[in-house]
Amino acid sequence: MKFPGDTVFPFLLLAAVSAPAVLPARAQLPAGPGRAETEKLCQACHEMAKSVSLRQDRNGWGNTLKKMMVLGMKAPDEDLHLVLAYLSKNFPAEELPPVDVNKARAIQLESRMSLRRSEAAAILRYRKEHGNFRSLEDLLKVPGIDAAKIEAKKHILVFAGAEPRRQEAAPSRE
Ligand code: HEC
């Protein structure tokens, strides 16, 4: 006798291997407000694992919900709000670590800070000549870089290693 499950199995196996972040089909979703609504709504047409196969911000989840509605999903607005909040909270965009300006390689400066190759090279050259950057102001002294671009990314920058072993002391301003 053949069970339908037999044919599904190799597919699941493949999915598990290629995308380890995906929940197994029967796994529980994390607890929290909106879980029941999400479970009800998001496994009506496909496996839950597919529904939560993405990691994205609220905007991204909003777009996914719109897409599912185009594909025929129907739910009252209150439920949609709950589901949107639930998905954005429990399956958020992957956070990238901050960029350590004193360790970053050229390629990281280029991609994470949207810098041109020449700007990244200028930062590395300056770092080599002057030592570690201590602050944003330090970084803005690098000739040939676009200050506005640097300012726009200041929230992802850290300046580790500039003054090692000074942190436990009370802040002093010599
Ligand atoms: C009315 C049916 C239906 C419902 C309900 C539904 N989906 Fe889908 N979903 C689809 C179809 C059709 C596809 C594309 C074909 C496929 O992958 O099976 C899909 C694909 C997806 C994908 C794969 C990536 C993509 O964008 O195509 C994700 C993620 C997804 N759905 C998330 C969800 C979430 C989250 C919910 C609950 C809020 C949900 N779906 C509810 C029909 C639905």
Whether residue 119 is found in the same domain as residue 72: no
CATH number at residue 34: 1.10.760
- Using 50 as the pLDDT threshold, list the residues of the chain that sit under it: 1-21, 25, 164-170, 172, 174
CA of 52 to the centre of ligand 1 (A): 9
- Domain extent for 46: 11-90
Q: Are 147 and 138 in contact (CB under 8 A)?
A: no
Burial of 61 (0-12, 13-18, 19+ CB in 10 A): buried
**CATH value at residue 129:** 1.10.150.280
- Evaluate whether residue 169 is within a structural domain: no
Percentage of residues in the chain having pLDDT higher than 70: 77
- Ligand 1 pocket test, pick from 51, 65, 79 with the greatest ligand atom count within 8 Å of Cβ, gives 51
Q: Is 120 exposed, middle or buried (0-12, 13-18, 19+ CB in 10 A)?
A: buried
- Give the pLDDT confidence score for residue 95 in this predicted structure: 79
Q: What is the pLDDT of residue 94?
A: 81
Q: Are residues 103 and 65 in the same domain?
A: no
Last residue of a domain, one of 90, 119, 146: 90
Last-in-domain residue among 65, 90, 115 = 90
